[in-house]
Structure 1
Amino acid sequence: MKLNRTFGILLASTAFFGLANSAFALDGNEVLAKINAALEMSQAKLAAASVEVDGDNVTLTGATLTVSSAPQPLSLGDISLEEVAEDEGSYDIGKVTFQDLNVDKDGTKVTASDIYMTNMHVPATPDLSTVSNMLLAETFHVGPFSVAANGKEVFSASETNANYSIDDDETKVDFDMAITGLKADLSTVPDPKSQEAIKALGLETVAGEITMKGDWTMADGKMTISEYAFDFNDIGRIDLNMSLSGYTPALIKSMQEAVKTAEQNPDKAAGQQALGMSMMGLMAQLSYNGASIRFDDAGITAKVLDYAGKQQGVDGKQFAQSIKGMLPMMLGQLNMPDLQTQIVSAANAFLDDPKSLTVSAEPAQPLPFPQIMGAGMGNPADLVKTLNVKVTAND
């Protein structure tokens, strides 16, 4: 009797855990639906020929991404979602792996491998009120990428990495991106005149990297790009940075709605015109905090001066001197004495010893965009002072 009762308990336990397992099993179609609910804000939709679940993994077979602005869906192949966990209606995905890209069309072949995202959060109710309600992944990675034309590689990159990190109070997002191992083959440029300049400047092959860093605070919509640099060997480094306020979740939502309304308008021309007017109105909510652009020379300036001088029958140093002589007269038309003095001083220093050039516009306090546009149309000289424009060299 005891044995029968024990056996009965075991059977009941097995049945219970089996039912529990079934009740808490992942619903792959629900995961896809939640992803699409979040993508809807960007006017995009992810579809799959089939959805398969294996434990906590979901596979989307024959996936395609449709974006409203694109003429046709983008084929993504198979997508693997690993370590998928449900949390009160939202989903956390440990890793999203995409199929290698291999497209060969009209003599152009594009390949990319090792494409994935990690720690993706799919919100239960997507909106822009908090970071936890947004579709975000902590990292995005692409391995070797290349573009070949007629069998010859013309562009490639070793690796692309993008990272996002969220503050504990979910009010600020920090981000960075790096594209490393960039190579571009300019020897195939068809225009003879361009090819002559490319050879003279030693730019048949260009190599370098692109990096970016920044942060976004949701409460005041302050977006700061602290680094956006293009750094190429034997050429130089161009670094842009900027900061603006007012880019709030509410503004982003209004912009998305304006785009959606324009796209739904059967009269495309009228839709685009209305969109332009809407965007002008929305831009009025933004404030400009400051920006700058800096160039650090790595040898290209001397080559450019030599090449341009040769066209005039002089060497690079002589050509630099001729620029210095003409610059004050050329800038006189601006009718901005202070700025003209800065430009001439910086240009003279840079041409004598090419190290760096920096142009900055850092106002004493944030300026609303309508104020900047009004000043620009009224008196550009006053705008230059208001923006506190400075031009310096070799600093």
Structure 2
Amino acid sequence: MTLHHSFKSLLASAAVFGFAGQALALDGQDLLNKINTSYAAGGGTIAAESIEVSGSDIVMKNVKFSVGEAGETPLAIGDLTFEGVTEEEGGSYQIEKVSFPEVNVKEEKSSISVTDLYLSGVYVPGNPDAEGLDSMMFYEEAHSGPVDVSIDGKSVFSMEEAIATIALSEDESTMTFEGSATGFKADLSSVEDPQAKQTIEALQLTNLAGEINMSGSWEIEDGTIDIDDYSFDVANVGKLSMAFSLSGYTLDLIKQMQEQARQMQAQPENEQTQQAAGLAMLGLVQQLTLNSAQIRFDDAGITKRGFDYAGKTQGTDGAQMAQMVKGMLPLLLAQAKLGALQNDITAAVNAYIDDPKALTIAAAPANPVAFPMIVGAAMGAPDTIPTLIGLKVTAND
């Protein structure tokens, strides 16, 4: 499978189609069938009223997307335009770009609009049972332009742009991915519940703005997936960052999980089937191994405002409320039976409360730990978990 065609290859393909005429005309229905075969793992189905083929372009008219239980009203998407479509050996397809129509949905007092939606560098497998990545449908870039959600003509949520990219190494052993959602804004001034509105105003959360970012990689053969950064950064609130590394997330495991999901969706009303598939899914997750994990919060003012508001509701001030939390923390931690880690958590939280900058929870085991070991420890000896996964809590580092 080749993800990137050279310019010469593109010219050659164009020449072949130009001279071959109708003999090598694209089969739009075959493309749709293979997309649906790939989507079947997630329970989704795409239907088109008609399909038009013009050279290397295909337009699927009045597309509707169905997912979940039979009988549910499908989602009307509109016309999908596939540009630069080429069929490869083995029946797979490469698509330069898939463009989606603009979204303009209005229901009573609310409206949603989304523009500039597209996928580029799309690969559709010819055989979902093929070996390796040849069996998976994926894209090089997914893009969304401006998004706006309005109620009574007032924007309550908007986003400037969202992009997700996937790249494959030359030897097809590693897949890297990045994603971002920039310029999002939320206006919570329309919240009607008096108590919720009071809390929002006290915490200065009426108008929120920020961005979301993610980056990572996947070693395909051994299934090691590293999320280097998955962060939510909100102005005047703070930044929540997560990172983790797992092993065992192989193609075989993915296919097994997709099969279980398909069984659950096929018989949504059958309680026994749902339970059996759910247990099977839990069993599959046991194949994973924890390498490391971290959660970090960098404060941008929300902590002090939170203590001030909590103190006010209790008839005191923020400083007194902070001291009350520091005094209650050891009692709460004692119930969790965390052993020596209790003192480290207390020291870190106290330091953060005194000077709110950053609080970090990290797991860095000396050796990778299989999930069954973690589950077993949680059920039988929870006080051993901190040592088992190398758990540490630090502040302001």
TM norm structure 2: 0.90
1:49 aligns with 2:49: yes
Query: CA–CA distance in 2 between the matches of 1:113 and 1:157?
Result: 11
1:329 aligns with 2:331: yes
1:386 aligns with 2:369: no
Shift of 1:128: 6.6
Query: CA–CA distance in 2 between the matches of 1:205 and 1:252?
Result: 40
Distance verdict in 2 for CA 1:127–1:227, change over 3 Å: farther
Alignment match, 1:4:
none
1:306 aligns with 2:329: no
Aligned 1:134-145 pairs, distance under 5 A: 134-145=136-147
Query: CA–CA distance in 2 between the matches of 1:124 and 1:68?
Result: 25
Match for residue 350 of structure 1 among 336, 349, 352? 352
1:184 aligns with 2:217: no
Query: CA–CA distance in 2 between the matches of 1:115 and 1:103?
Result: 15
Distance verdict in 2 for CA 1:103–1:18, change over 3 Å: closer
Query: CA–CA distance in 2 between the matches of 1:90 and 1:194?
Result: 53
Aligned 1:168-317 pairs, distance under 5 A: 168-265=170-267, 267-317=269-319
Deviations 1:144-165 (Å, cap 9, x if unpaired)?
Answer: 1122223322111111100000
Deviations 1:169-206 (Å, cap 9, x if unpaired)?
Answer: 21221111111111111112222111111111111111
Alignment gaps of 5+ in structure 1: 1-16
Query: CA–CA distance in 1 between the matches of 2:372 and 2:22?
Result: 59
Alignment match, 1:40:
40
Alignment gaps of 5+ in structure 2: 1-16
Distance verdict in 2 for CA 1:263–1:337, change over 3 Å: closer
Secondary structure of the 1:262 match is helix
Deviations 1:17-59 (Å, cap 9, x if unpaired)?
Answer: 9983111222222222222232223322221111111121111
Match for 1:268: what amino acid?
N
Aligned length: 379
Distance verdict in 2 for CA 1:317–1:178, change over 3 Å: same
Aligned 1:58-73 pairs, distance under 5 A: 58-68=58-68, 71-73=72-74
Match for 2:68: what amino acid?
S
> Which range moved further: 124-133 or 298-307?
124-133
Alignment match, 1:13:
none
User: Is the radius of gyration larger for structure 1 or structure 2?
Assistant: 1
Distance verdict in 2 for CA 1:320–1:86, change over 3 Å: same
Distance verdict in 2 for CA 1:359–1:79, change over 3 Å: same
Secondary structure of the 2:30 match is helix
Match for 2:42: what amino acid?
S
Secondary structure of the 1:137 match is coil
The RMSD of aligned alpha carbons is 1.9
Deviations 1:258-293 (Å, cap 9, x if unpaired)?
Answer: 222233347521121111111122122111222110
Query: CA–CA distance in 1 between the matches of 2:57 and 2:321?
Result: 65
CA contact (8 A) 1:263 1:271 kept: no
Distance verdict in 2 for CA 1:128–1:227, change over 3 Å: farther
Q: Runs (4+) of structure 1 moved beyond 6 Å? A: none
Aligned 1:107-126 pairs, distance under 5 A: 107-126=109-128
Deviations 1:351-395 (Å, cap 9, x if unpaired)?
Answer: 111100001122111111111111110010012211111110000
Identical aligned pairs, as a percentage? 45
Query: CA–CA distance in 2 between the matches of 1:64 and 1:147?
Result: 22
> Which range moved further: 225-234 or 360-369?
360-369
CA contact (8 A) 2:247 2:289 kept: yes
Query: CA–CA distance in 2 between the matches of 1:44 and 1:312?
Result: 51
Aligned 1:67-82 pairs, distance under 5 A: 67-68=67-68, 71-82=72-83
Query: CA–CA distance in 2 between the matches of 1:282 and 1:391?
Result: 30
CA contact (8 A) 1:128 1:250 kept: no
Secondary structure of the 1:244 match is strand
Deviations 1:209-233 (Å, cap 9, x if unpaired)?
Answer: 1111111122111122111101000
CA contact (8 A) 1:297 1:356 kept: yes
Query: CA–CA distance in 2 between the matches of 1:109 and 1:194?
Result: 24
Distance verdict in 2 for CA 1:315–1:141, change over 3 Å: same
Shift of 1:333: 2.8
Query: CA–CA distance in 1 between the matches of 2:368 and 2:339?
Result: 25
Shift of 1:92: 1.1
Query: CA–CA distance in 2 between the matches of 1:276 and 1:296?
Result: 36
Alignment match, 1:148:
150
> Which range moved further: 267-276 or 372-381?
267-276
Secondary structure of the 1:136 match is coil
CA contact (8 A) 1:116 1:142 kept: yes
Shift of 1:106: 4.3
Deviations 1:298-340 (Å, cap 9, x if unpaired)?
Answer: 1111111221222233332232223223322333333434211
Alignment match, 1:94:
96
Shift of 1:242: 1.4
Alignment match, 1:3:
none
